[in-house]
A and B are shown apart, each in its own frame.
Chain A
Amino acid sequence: MPTNPFHTPPPPQDFAATDPPVQQRSRRVRLNRMRRHLWNHVVTGLAVLSTVIVIAPLVAILAYLIYKGASSLNLAFFTHIPAPVGELGGGMANAIVGSGMILAVASVLGIPVGIGAGVYLAEFGRGGWLAAAIRFTADVLNGVPSIVMGIAIYSLIVMRQKHFSALAGGVALAIMMVPTITRTTEEMLATVPHAIREAAYGLGVPRWRTVLSVTLKTASPGIITGCMLAFARVAGETAPLLFTAFGNQFWSLRLNQPIAALPLQIYVYAISPYDEWHRLAWGGSLVLIVLIMVSVTLVRIYANRGVLKGAS
Chain B
Amino acid sequence: MGVGIDVENLNAWYGSTHTLQDISLNIPANHATALIGPSGCGKSTFVRCLNRMHETNPIARATGIVKMGDVDIYQDANPVEIRRRVGMVFQRPNPFPTMSIYDNVASGLKLNGFRNRAILDETVERSLRAAALWDEVKDDLKKKSGASLSGGQQQRMCIARALAVDPEVLLMDEPASALDPVSTSKIEDLIFELKRQYTIVIVTHNMQQAARVAENTGFFLNGKMVEFDSTHKIFTNPKDKRTEDYITGRFG
Count, chain A residues at interface, CB 8 A: 24
**What are the residues of chain B within 8 A of A312 when measuring CB–CB?**
97, 145, 147
Provided the pairs A198-B53, A311-B145 are in contact, do residues A203 and B108 lie with their beta carbons within 8 angstroms?
yes
A203→B161 contact, CB < 8 A: yes
Which residue of chain A lies nearest to B87 when distances are taken between CB atoms in the complex?
A202
Provided the pairs A218-B96, A218-B98 are in contact, do residues A203 and B84 lie with their beta carbons within 8 angstroms?
yes
A200 at interface by CB-CB < 8 Å:
yes
Provided the pairs A196-B94, A311-B98 are in contact, do residues A203 and B145 lie with their beta carbons within 8 angstroms?
no
Interface residues as binary, B36-80 with A (CB distance below 8 Å gives 1, 0 otherwise) = 000000000000000101001000000000000000000000001
Which residue of chain A lies nearest to B83 when distances are taken between CB atoms in the complex?
A204
Which residues 146-184 of B have a CB within 8 angstroms of A? 147-149, 158, 161-162, 165
Q: Distance (Å) between the CB of A248 and the closest chain B CB? A: 44
Interface residues as binary, A289-312 with B (CB distance below 8 Å gives 1, 0 otherwise) = 000000000000000000011111
Residue of A214, A220, A310 touching B147 (CB-CB under 8 A): A310
**What are the residues of chain A within 8 A of B144 when measuring CB–CB?**
308-310
B232 at interface by CB-CB < 8 Å:
no
B51→A202 contact, CB < 8 A: yes
A206 vs B111: C-alpha distance in the bound complex, in angstroms? 9
B135 at interface by CB-CB < 8 Å:
no
Give the residue among B80, B85, B158 with the most A Cβ atoms within 10 A: B80
Give the residue among A198, A201, A203, A218 with the most B Cβ atoms within 10 A: A203
B147→A311 contact, CB < 8 A: yes
A195 vs B97: C-alpha distance in the bound complex, in angstroms? 11
A195 vs B98: C-alpha distance in the bound complex, in angstroms? 14
**What are the residues of chain B within 8 A of A201 when measuring CB–CB?**
53, 56, 83
A218 vs B56: C-alpha distance in the bound complex, in angstroms? 20
B92 at interface by CB-CB < 8 Å:
yes
B51→A209 contact, CB < 8 A: no
**What are the residues of chain B within 8 A of A130 when measuring CB–CB?**
none
A308 vs B82: C-alpha distance in the bound complex, in angstroms? 32
**What are the residues of chain B within 8 A of A203 when measuring CB–CB?**
83-84, 87, 107-108, 111-112, 161-162, 165
A217 vs B98: C-alpha distance in the bound complex, in angstroms? 7
Identify whether the interface residues of A are mostly helix, strand, loop, or mixed.
Answer: helix
Which residue of chain A lies nearest to B109 when distances are taken between CB atoms in the complex?
A203
Interface residues as binary, A200-236 with B (CB distance below 8 Å gives 1, 0 otherwise) = 1111111001100110011010000000000000000
**What are the residues of chain A within 8 A of B111 when measuring CB–CB?**
200, 203, 205, 209-210, 213-214
Q: Distance (Å) between the CB of B34 and the closest chain A CB? A: 20
A159 at interface by CB-CB < 8 Å:
no
Which residues 108-135 of A have a CB within 8 angstroms of B? none
**What are the residues of chain B within 8 A of A193 when measuring CB–CB?**
94
A195→B147 contact, CB < 8 A: no
**What are the residues of chain A within 8 A of B33 when measuring CB–CB?**
none
A76 at interface by CB-CB < 8 Å:
no
**What are the residues of chain B within 8 A of A204 when measuring CB–CB?**
80-85, 108, 112, 165
**What are the residues of chain A within 8 A of B158 when measuring CB–CB?**
199
**What are the residues of chain A within 8 A of B51 when measuring CB–CB?**
202
A91 vs B97: C-alpha distance in the bound complex, in angstroms? 48
B115 at interface by CB-CB < 8 Å:
no
A309→B148 contact, CB < 8 A: yes
B233 at interface by CB-CB < 8 Å:
no
B88 at interface by CB-CB < 8 Å:
yes
**What are the residues of chain A within 8 A of B96 when measuring CB–CB?**
196, 199-200, 214, 218
B100 at interface by CB-CB < 8 Å:
yes
**What are the residues of chain A within 8 A of B149 when measuring CB–CB?**
310
A308 vs B94: C-alpha distance in the bound complex, in angstroms? 17
17 CB contacts below 8 A, A to B, read A196-B97, A198-B53, A199-B158, A202-B53, A202-B83, A203-B83, A203-B107, A204-B80, A214-B96, A218-B96, A220-B98, A309-B145, A310-B145, A310-B149, A311-B147, A311-B148, A312-B145
List the 5 shortest-distance A-B pairs measured between CB atoms, nearest first: A310-B148, A204-B84, A311-B145, A203-B108, A202-B88
Known: A199-B90, A311-B97; 14 extra A-B contacts, CB below 8 A, are A195-B90, A199-B95, A200-B111, A203-B87, A203-B111, A203-B112, A204-B112, A205-B112, A218-B98, A220-B98, A308-B143, A308-B145, A308-B148, A312-B97
